A and B are shown apart, each in its own frame.
Chain A
Amino acid sequence: MPFIFRMAFRETRAAWKRLAFFFLCLSIGVGSIVTLRSVIQTVRHTLTRESRALLGGDLSLSTNRPWDPKVRDTIDSTLASIPYTARADELETMSMVRPEDPEKQVARLVELVGVQQAYPLYGTVTLEGGYPYAHGLLRDHGALLRRDLLVQLDVGIGEAIVIGDRRFTVRGVITAEPGRSTGGFSFGSRVFVDFADLQETGLITYGSRASYRVRLKVADGAADRLASSLRGPLRSQFVSVRSFRSTENRLSDNLVRAENYLSLVGLVIVVLGGVGVWSVVRVFVHQKIKAVAVLKCVGATARQILGIYVLQVLGMGLAGSLAGVGFAGAALWWLRPVIDTTAGIATPYALTGAAIAQGAGIGLLISLLFALVPLLDVRHVRPSLLLRAAERPPHGPDWVKRAAIVSVGAGLVALASWQAASLRIGLVLSVGFAAIALILHGAGLLLVKVMAPLQASRRFEVRYAARRVVRPGNQTRAILLTVGLGAFLVVGVRVLQANLLNEFQLDLRPNTPDMFVIDIQPDQEAGVRALLSDSANGVRTQANLIPVLRARVSRVQGARVQLESYEDVRRRGGLGREYVITYRPGLEANETVVEGHFWDASPAERPEISIEEGLRDRAGLSLGDVVTFDILGRSVEATVTSVRRVDWADARAGGFMFVFRPGPLDSAPRMFIAPIKGPADPVARARLQRALTERFPNVSVVDVQEILASVSKVVSDVTFAVTVVGALVLFSGILILVGSISMTKFQRVYEAAVLKTLGATTRTVALLLVFEYALLGFIAGGIGSLGALGLSWGVSRYAFDVPWTPLPGYVAAGLAASIALVTVVGLAASLDVLRRKPLATLRAE
Chain B
Amino acid sequence: MIELKGLSKTVMSGDQPLTILHPLDLNVPRSQFLAITGPSGSGKSTLLGLVAGLDAPTSGTIAIDGQDITGMGEDDLARLRSEKIGIVFQFFHLIPSLTALENVMVPLELAARRNARGRACELLDEVGLTERAHHYPSQLSGGEQQRVALARALSNDPPILLADEPTGNLDTANGQNVMELLLKVRTVRGATLLLATHDLALARRADGVLRLRGGVADAVSGPERGVPSFASGIAE
Query: What residues of chain A have their CB less than 8 Å away from a CB belonging to chain B?
Result: 3, 6-7, 10-11, 13-15, 290-291, 293-304, 382-384, 386-388, 390-391, 844
Contacts and interface: CB of A to CB of B under 8 A. Distances in A.
A297 B52 contact: yes
16 contacts: A13-B97, A14-B97, A291-B96, A291-B97, A293-B93, A295-B110, A298-B106, A299-B78, A299-B107, A300-B106, A303-B75, A382-B54, A382-B55, A386-B54, A386-B89, A386-B93
Contact of A7 (B45, B82, B106, B112): B106
Given A291-B95, A294-B93, A294-B95, A300 B54 contact: no
A298 B49 contact: no
Contacts of A294: 93-95
Given A291-B96, A303-B75, A391-B12, A298 B152 contact: yes
B224 interface: no
A297 B81 contact: yes
A299 B49 contact: no
A298 B158 CA distance: 11
Contacts of A10: 97-98, 102
Contacts of A384: 49, 54-55
Given A14-B96, A15-B97, 5 more contacts: A10-B97, A298-B110, A299-B156, A301-B75, A302-B74
B68 interface: no
Interface in B75-109: 75, 78-79, 81-83, 87, 89, 91, 93-98, 102, 106-107, 109
Nearest to B89: A386
B187 interface: no
Nearest to B94: A294
Contacts of B11: 391
B97 A387 contact: no
A383 B49 CA distance: 9
Given A10-B102, A301-B75, A382-B55, A387 B48 contact: yes
B111 interface: yes
Contact of B79 (A291, A299, A383): A299
Q: Considering the complex of A and B, which 4 residue pairs feature the smallest CB-CB distances, nearest first?
A: A299-B82, A14-B97, A384-B55, A301-B75
Given A14-B97, A301-B79, A296 B138 contact: no
B164 interface: yes
B46 interface: yes
A14 B99 CA distance: 10
A387 B43 CA distance: 11
A383 B107 contact: no
Contacts of A383: 52, 54
A298 B82 contact: yes
A297 B96 contact: no
Contacts of B83: 299
A11 B97 CA distance: 7
A10 B55 CA distance: 28
Interface residues of B, number: 36
A304 B97 CA distance: 18
B81 A298 contact: yes
Interface of B: 11-12, 45-46, 48-49, 52, 54-55, 74-75, 78-79, 81-83, 87, 89, 91, 93-98, 102, 106-107, 109-112, 138, 152, 156, 164
Contacts of A303: 75
With most chain A CB atoms within 10 A of its CB, the pick from B11, B54, B111 is B54
Contacts of B91: 386
Nearest to A14: B97
Nearest to B98: A10
Contacts of A387: 45-46, 48-49, 54-55, 89, 164
A229 B42 CA distance: 98
B107 A298 contact: yes
A290 B103 CA distance: 13
A18 to B, nearest CB: 11
Nearest to A11: B97
B78 A300 contact: yes
Nearest to B55: A384
A14 B103 CA distance: 13
A297 B112 contact: no
A740 B98 CA distance: 23
Contact of B111 (A296, A299, A844): A299
B110 A3 contact: yes
With most chain B CB atoms within 10 A of its CB, the pick from A10, A298, A391, A844 is A298
Nearest to A291: B95
A295 B107 CA distance: 8
With most chain B CB atoms within 10 A of its CB, the pick from A6, A293, A297, A304 is A297
Given A297-B81, A298-B81, A384-B49, A3 B97 contact: no
B75 A302 contact: yes
Contact of A388 (B45, B75, B78, B156): B45
Nearest to B107: A298
A296 B78 contact: yes
With most chain A CB atoms within 10 A of its CB, the pick from B49, B55, B95, B152 is B95
A386 B81 CA distance: 15
Nearest to B196: A387
A296 B98 CA distance: 16
A750 to B, nearest CB: 14
A13 B136 CA distance: 13
Contacts of A390: 55
Given A10-B97, A11-B97, A14-B97, A388 B112 contact: no
A20 to B, nearest CB: 15
A13 B99 CA distance: 11
A300 B78 CA distance: 6
With most chain A CB atoms within 10 A of its CB, the pick from B82, B83, B109, B111 is B109
Contacts of B45: 387-388
A14 B48 CA distance: 32
A302 B73 CA distance: 11
Contacts of B111: 299
Contacts of B81: 297-299
A3 B82 CA distance: 14
A11 B106 CA distance: 12
B138 A844 contact: yes
Contacts of B55: 382, 384, 387, 390
Contacts of B138: 844
B56 to A, nearest CB: 9
